[in-house]
Structure 1
């Protein structure tokens, strides 16, 4: 193609195509503003789409995160529906120890050679019981250290292992003292038995177990405590006694007799205590020994 023909062809092409944009400043500024506006709309739309996607994914992410940790026991502000987690209770692994039960052939407890404890804490408790009984003697009576004809003291304490075969271990503490008024002598006894695991009896049934006693029994109320008071027919070693069983199973007896065990001394002419005074003594914590 000749140079003239090429020039004509290029000129013809330029004539048929769209003319270039006007170089007018106002028109150029207006086009620039419209382009910027379209760009802002495009950017805002893209951000909105991103936010919508983020919101749509949010709950799934929260649920997934919450599922990877223990649920909260409470919702802040108290507006949630989550229920508080129950606090697990500690499970005791300690098995209650059953009371020891005596079997045939078992040795006597605490190194004893028989049922009686002649030394140690148990013997000391019996001595304390005897001293408390001496302190209870009312005015007009005394408790001197009198002797039997063979020279033995009429005041004696005793601590005794009381369980038989098949029974729970339990102990009985006793004390006997002479009571004198003038030249006449009677006696008092206090007994405290530790809990033996046996069923509770009515006050009078319990009173009838002491010395195999027979006679008339009445129930005396001492500040709400029911005490059995048994008065014998005069054929027992004691004329009258009161008994009270504590809620823990400890049983206390207090007994009195106008006549002592010594035949060379005349008996008292009157009881040391009234029936009510005897019942009150049976409920005194001074006579309770539970171990």
Structure 2
């Protein structure tokens, strides 16, 4: 599923007939991140398939190179016995079924130190809301919108295991607004060892697989990539990304509307691009 398909799928939840089950806000955000993982898995699968083709081709080509009747080999005459394939059958890959850490039954940690980190991140995001804006805990979606649960979300999600290192993603999503109009603020932190490559605008493009017009914004001696206008996706308006020296990646995003809630949108964003970049690089969001 690409970004455009995901956007249509999200909209389809609201318009499909018959009436769908109530939408869970956390599930919507999970779907965006799941689509990103599927794209990564597709790329990895394509690379593996190419490797298999090369192996099988090598098994066919090498014997033909060694059949010269004089005992010569691919490495030169008399260099050793010819390489002969034992089989043209490619072995099945080992079982890669995910084993959830710490006794979890799925990807999300609902208690323990990882869940506590998500709670900590929520408090940090709350404290970052500008004084003229509000981030109420009891805000509800518009009447008639199929949305279950609150609009404030926090999540600690297991992403991967590399050797003995666990890689986690902490997510906070809250409404922010003023005068009865509501926007959206999202902060996501990926711990060291994550698959988010690149710097500046290349790193910014990794957030939810969204594409946008990006510019580099200086913060001290750093150059932070900030997407200032989305292209082909209207879930968010601006987002910034920063990689700490240890590999921790922080994404901070904002929007004038909170998608799929039916709430009236704000006329301006809570942060300027400069402020958004500074938030992404702020040490307070450096959670590991």
| Superposition TM-score, scaled by structure 1 size | 0.60
How far 1:214 moved relative to its partner? Answer: 1.4
Q: 2:213 aligns with which of 189, 213, 216?
A: 216
Distance 1:151 1:106, change over 3 A: closer
Count of residues paired in the alignment: 189
1:124-273 correspondence runs (5 A): 124-145=116-137, 146-148=139-141, 150=147, 152-163=149-160, 169-196=166-193, 198=195, 200-231=197-228, 232-233=230-231, 235-273=233-271
CA distance in 2 between counterparts of 1:238 and 1:199 reads 19
Distance 1:278 1:166, change over 3 A: same
| Partner SS for 2:241 | strand
Greater strand fraction, Structure 1 or Structure 2 = 2
For residues 4-24 of structure 1, the C-alpha deviation after alignment (integer angstroms, 9 at most, x for no partner) is xxxxxxxxxxxxxxxxxxxxx
1:281 aligned residue? 279
For residues 248-274 of structure 1, the C-alpha deviation after alignment (integer angstroms, 9 at most, x for no partner) is 000000000100135431001001100
| Partner SS for 1:178 | strand
Structure ID, larger Rg: 1
How far 1:200 moved relative to its partner? Answer: 4.4
Distance 1:111 1:216, change over 3 A: same
Structure 1, unmatched stretches of 5+, are: 1-101
Question: Does the aligned pair in 2 maintain the 1:242–1:254 contact within 8 Å?
Answer: yes
CA distance in 2 between counterparts of 1:277 and 1:268 reads 18
Question: Does the aligned pair in 1 maintain the 2:199–2:243 contact within 8 Å?
Answer: no
1:107-122 correspondence runs (5 A): 107-122=99-114
CA distance in 2 between counterparts of 1:201 and 1:173 reads 20
Question: Does the aligned pair in 1 maintain the 2:196–2:249 contact within 8 Å?
Answer: no
| Superposition TM-score, scaled by structure 2 size | 0.61
CA distance in 2 between counterparts of 1:125 and 1:103 reads 31
Question: Does the aligned pair in 2 maintain the 1:103–1:165 contact within 8 Å?
Answer: no
How far 1:225 moved relative to its partner? Answer: 1.7
2:19 aligned residue? none
Distance 1:266 1:198, change over 3 A: closer
| Partner SS for 1:129 | helix
1:61-100 correspondence runs (5 A): none
| Partner SS for 1:169 | strand
| Partner SS for 1:286 | helix
